Amino acid sequence: MRKFFVTIAAVCLAVYAWAAEIPAQRVGVQIGWAQPILRLNSPIASYPKDSLVDVTKLNGFKVGLMYDASYIAGFGSTIGVNYTFGAATTPWAAINPGISTHPQAQTLTTYHEMEVFVDWQYKFELAKETYIILYSGPTIQCGLQINTRKDRKELDGTVTKGVETNRFVDQTVNEQLNRINVTWGVGAGFQYKRYFLRGGYDFGLINPYKNDQFENMDRNTRGRLDQWSIKIGAYIWYED
């Protein structure tokens, strides 16, 4: 966690050092929809090693601060910091589908993370102060919490809440995950004067599993943490 915030501070200092030499620069805020997608192999050893049997889609929001700089003829970059939240609840389902009278269960998942991103971009001018934007670049994500809780519902309708566990730190959870994730994103956007809309997809580049948790299992513990996002925003300060 400390290394993550040191990285943020270093990026901010670097921006401050060369900002005076850039002909066009802007500071903006953005907020929008986000869908983190956690793709994991099955925790059951009897499944094929390379099977992908668990995809958790978490719907939520993203909010952040960004710095936009243009260098030459539409080419530039955007760097910034975002906070992302996502949540999902599975439908009630029988714990043992082969027994119709068996109690049911559902899983609740919540996700919190901070990220630092760098996007290289090109703005195509359609008219005065109106642009189409194409961008691509890396993001370093630091997971704060990814909590899961399994609740049970008995035949009489009584619901028993399970114990909530943080999959980044709980040593007893098989799906223990790494906090740090690196993605590469591609996206497009539209800008009119100081207002903009951006949307894209980030592909996870590293395996979120901690492999040493699975040394006694006959399977590969591979996975990926991706993310969809659509953001609207405005520049609160700019210098052209």
Average pLDDT, the chain: 84
What are the tens digits of pLDDT across the range 84-98? Answer: 999 999 999 888 766
In this structure, how many other beta carbons lie within 10 angstroms of the beta carbon of residue 80?
A: 21
In angstroms, rounded to a whole number, what is the distance separating the alpha carbons of residues 193 and 236?
Answer: 12
In this structure, how many other beta carbons lie within 10 angstroms of the beta carbon of residue 99?
A: 9
Percentage of the chain exceeding pLDDT 70: 75
Q: In this predicted model, which residue has the larger pLDDT, 39 or 191?
A: 191
Beta strand pairing call for 93-94 and 104-127: antiparallel
Q: pLDDT value at position 186?
A: 98
- Beta strand extents in 90-129 (DSSP E only): 93-94, 104-127
DSSP three-state, residue 102:
coil
Residue 112 belongs to domain with CATH number: 2.40.160.20
The residue-averaged pLDDT of 197-226 equals: 76
Nearest to 224 by CA among 51, 11, 55: 55
The residue-averaged pLDDT of 53-73 equals: 90
∠ CA 80-83-89, nearest 5°, is 145
* Residue 219 clears pLDDT 60, i.e. is over it: no
What's the 3-state SS for 147-185? EEEEEEECCCCCEECCCCEECCCCCCCCCCECCEEEEEE
DSSP three-state, residue 210:
coil
In angstroms, rounded to a whole number, what is the distance separating the alpha carbons of residues 198 and 121?
Answer: 11
Q: pLDDT value at position 152?
A: 92
The residue-averaged pLDDT of 44-62 equals: 72
Question: Is there a contact between 18 and 69 (Cβ–Cβ < 8 Å)?
Answer: no
Rg of the Cα atoms in the chain: 21
DSSP three-state, residue 14:
helix
What are the tens digits of pLDDT across the range 178-197? Answer: 899 999 999 999 999 999 99
DSSP code, position 209: B
Domain range for residue 203? Answer: 2-239
* Residue 213 clears pLDDT 70, i.e. is over it: no
Q: For the chain, how many structural domains are there in total?
A: 1
Q: In this predicted model, which residue has the larger pLDDT, 57 or 40?
A: 57
* pTM as predicted: 0.81
Q: In this predicted model, which residue has the larger pLDDT, 80 or 222?
A: 80
In this structure, how many other beta carbons lie within 10 angstroms of the beta carbon of residue 176?
A: 19
What are the tens digits of pLDDT across the range 13-38? Answer: 555 444 445 567 899 999 999 999 98
The pLDDT-based confidence of 62 (bands split at 50, 70, 90) is very high
The residue-averaged pLDDT of 71-96 equals: 92
